[in-house]
Structure 1
Amino acid sequence: MKRRGDFDKIELQLVRVLHTVIAERSVSRAAMRLNSSQPAVSAQLRRLRELTGDALLVRSGAGMTPTAAALELLAPAERLLREADTLFGARERAGRGSGFDPSTATLRYRIAASDYLDPFFLPALVAQLQRAAPGVQLDLQPLSAEYDYRASLARGEVDLVIGNWLQPPEELHLGRLLSDEVVCLMAADHPLAKARSWTIERYLACQHLAPMPLSPGQPGVIDQHLASQGLSRQIAVRSAHFGQLPEMVARSLLVLTTGRLFCSRYLDRLPVRIVRCPVVFPAMAYYQLWHELSHGSAALRWLREQVREVARGLVSEAPASAKVRA
């Protein structure tokens, strides 16, 4: 246990360095984010190691990895910084509005996103951020069954998660982006593409193409709903590369069940056809999710606004074959 005097000498900036170094997993990146020098941050990291009795960051291959103790300190450090801003930041916030200027920002955003929403969504988001915040770095990573996005949000390893869920996790903040009708995509020459007797039974008997589920041990949203209705389908192919699924549909008798907006983007590019699904599905809802840790951040609030604007723009510019609700 450290002496009381040691703790009395801890200033808020040291807590900020602790949080930034752990979140960035790099002294050099932390120095850039803090507008400081690498030697200064290294010296502060040595002091933090003395105070905590832990290495905090350890070498791992070509990079650095936070220790278990460091990850446990991330959330308390975030809370302390947020409370300090509440206590002492009112005058500063009043003088400079939101406190965040995207045109001069040099921070890094980390987003985990599925590519189910629209093949144009992430390119449009990148273009929007490049225009409005040219100094910002953007890390985009896919969602997968192996990636625990809830834990990553709680540890501050990712800022925002974008995807679709029947029931988003209750412990996270959410912003609804859009709702999309569930339809089927099949090859234009598929025997059932123009069939008059497109029944539930014939739908279930088809060979289906599906993305890999986002949660380990759980089916995707389509199969979750089918199971709730006592139904099941035959999935012939599962793929983690969602953007390649329409091409697979065009070259086979496989049927893809997903959102109309996504499917509509391929009608002019591939010999495919959108067909009404005989099973009644609830609308496919897309959300952005974030943790309480980042809820009060002006920089991340601005990011969420950009994501919402891009999603709404895609809806308004969607082709006539896509009837989507923002």
Structure 2
Amino acid sequence: MRVSALIGAAVVACLATAAQTSPDLWAQEWPQTNFDKTTVENWDEIRSGGPPKDGIPALSDPAFIAVGEEQRIGDREPVIAVEIDGARPRAYPIRYLTWHEIVNDTVAGVPIAVTFCPLCNSAITFDRRVPQGTLSFGVSGKLRHSDMVMYDRETQSWWQQAVGRAIVGDLTGTRLTTLPTWMESWAEFRARNPDGLVMEQPRHRRPYGANPYRGYDSAARPFLYTGAPPPHGIHPLMRVVRVGNRAWPLSRFGAEVTQISEAGVTLSWRAGQASALDTGEIARGRDVGTIRVRDEQGRDLAHDMMFAFAFHAFWPDGIWMTGP
């Protein structure tokens, strides 16, 4: 989908959902969701992204193959690397997550949800265990500040993907634990984990490897976002590295600056990873590089590589690490 078509679809979606900003109307579609419990103050923030509930089919318990058996993925294509003690490292290719957005899996006994919201470039892995039990997640078809609203199949509560918190339903206020995973190129993952595993291609009819959001990360504005732009003149679709409530613009990194140590964390950048939201073929996307985030002891930290507008929307009082 070209950016012009995407923006056109946004206008249609806004018109179609303008009358559906009351929880009473959403309840007709979601009869098992408790709309009396919510942290949403302005229902106008929630929009239909186009597909209905499960119109983007989340995956559960996917198959894996050995790294050496994989022949379809391009070297520069992004994957989400999941490395949990007690299990072989696993790669979840963005070529599949672009079309499914959530993968429910279990690694070394840990139930996880690997998530990717293309409209925010947000790739986060959550522990699916909460005090109320273990959850499994699906795609609601709703967006808030252009970010995916997930739902759990156990209580039909709605969850904001960017922050990992339930915003509507019985589990409102419950938070998911974020795991320290990251996006990197397939070549990087393969070189570091020759004995690792990679998710097998799902058995759905999708043009895997294609980018339906062609040109999105160089568009003038985000899809279905009406909030304030980021401060400091930062472009809404600039990638930022979010660690907690701090954001480092990716523009601070490049050939001359490959490592930054600030606020007790070290961020390292290296070239070689393609943008999944640039050209029509993910493997041919422009190079945006890979970021790794570690603490002062060298341990990987949970973080996200999201667009600046999304950070500003969900962390309006967040700290912008713009440098000297």
**TM-score, structure 1 as length reference:** 0.25
Specify the structure having the higher radius of gyration (Cα).
1
Question: Greater share of helix residues, 1 or 2?
Answer: 1
Question: Greater share of strand residues, 1 or 2?
Answer: 2
